[in-house]
Structure 1
């Protein structure tokens, strides 16, 4: 029986994966072609002996995942392959894949999360690592299909896996306690929909003076020098916060 796991070398399935049955994997990505490619990839890896049999389910938005998570208590997944930049679901205060990951953690605490994202901003990677503590995290532009399978192998085996940029963030910077709070994310989302600053107290328990104060705080956190709210919104979208 093989005693190690590698795609770079000659050995294949580790004992842990060789002794379990079919796994359920949820693929969450806003691009349907990406979901299909992931599904085909894990199926091929099974045929070649690198992964056990896997049943994949693909969803493309926060709303779809929310409905599955909250309406199907009998369903669970061994692994969630999660993108952060997803169509939001403001009716349920879910503005990105990070919020979705928190929901998943609450309902499926035994599920392992492997974040596979296009985001590459150090600040955003830090906040995602802190809030989700994913079992694995990779940047799409840093991995090939073999490395993705290797990451899935590791995570399913209980071994954390991070791509080079994520490792650099972990090694070189402490994750500071200056993340974006839920109310701040909702504030940014409201601004992005055209809600005026003076109208924010109708949606959040903030005074007008606090609204202006939070604007200044958020601009400092996100490194925005532009005075208009548009600069703040643009940076929040760029970083995948909304």
Structure 2
């Protein structure tokens, strides 16, 4: 069986390690492409119309943004891939622990694989992919436990709210958020105020918001 796998991770050592393990596991039956930016992935998968033969796309969730196409994460790219190539199997391998985003990914993208990097090793990667190739869906133990433990957590944050929280946690100042989010600074400030209320933030600084977001397991 010939396989074509595209691996997208902004850490070259990580994508290279996945490629080496999968190549050894599936021998000569596999073509593996590694890409290290969302822009490169967009140009390769979305812009190139000759990719009907891709079997699996592997993505990290948190990656540097591709502003030109409003692609802020692996999640955004996965939506585009799912729309253009609905038969492609999508596998997230990430150390990103945002429960709300994990739930959103499960509900809106329904990936074939959702794996926490902490659960992954050279011994089980090929076995996991074998299960996925055979038509099974796979969630690693840490992912399953996290979802089960926090099944009742819901702060009703939409995608823009989450982008605001994530960008602030990355050190982006509120006055500069309009460069990343299609809202005015005034509209962003209003959303920040609502976010703080939902999180129960008592202070006024971004550090207070980040601290409470971490307590709520959002970032």
> CA–CA distance in 2 between the matches of 1:34 and 1:207?
37
Name the CA shift for 1:136/1:186 in 2 (closer, same or farther; >3 Å): closer
> CA–CA distance in 2 between the matches of 1:64 and 1:106?
18
The question of 1:84 aligning with 2:64 is answered no
Query: Which residue matches 1:144?
Result: 121
Q: Count matched residues.
A: 211
Unaligned runs of 5+ in 1: 1-20
> CA–CA distance in 2 between the matches of 1:105 and 1:221?
32
The question of 1:74 aligning with 2:50 is answered yes
For the Cα contact (< 8 Å) 1:127–1:175, is it kept in 2? no
Alpha-carbon deviations, 1:56-113, whole Å to 9, x = none?
0000111111112332011131101111121111221111111111111112111101
For the Cα contact (< 8 Å) 1:125–1:169, is it kept in 2? no
Q: Report the CA distance between 1:130 and its aligned residue.
A: 2.7
Alpha-carbon deviations, 1:105-133, whole Å to 9, x = none?
11211110111101234344323323322
* TM alignment of 1:108-119, pairs within 5 A: 108-119=85-96
Q: What's the TM-score once normalised by structure 2's chain length?
A: 0.79
Name the CA shift for 1:53/1:176 in 2 (closer, same or farther; >3 Å): farther
Q: Report the CA distance between 1:231 and its aligned residue.
A: 4.8
For the Cα contact (< 8 Å) 1:85–1:240, is it kept in 2? no
Q: Report the CA distance between 1:219 and its aligned residue.
A: 3.2
For the Cα contact (< 8 Å) 1:119–1:240, is it kept in 2? no
Larger Rg: 1
Alignment equivalent of 2:109, drawn from 110, 127, 132: 132
Aligned-residue CA RMSD (Å): 3.2
Query: Which residue matches 1:61?
Result: 37
Q: What's the TM-score once normalised by structure 1's chain length?
A: 0.73
> CA–CA distance in 2 between the matches of 1:25 and 1:144?
18
> CA–CA distance in 2 between the matches of 1:223 and 1:29?
34
Name the CA shift for 1:62/1:144 in 2 (closer, same or farther; >3 Å): same
Query: Which residue matches 1:196?
Result: 175
Unaligned runs of 5+ in 2: none
Q: Report the CA distance between 1:169 and its aligned residue.
A: 3.5
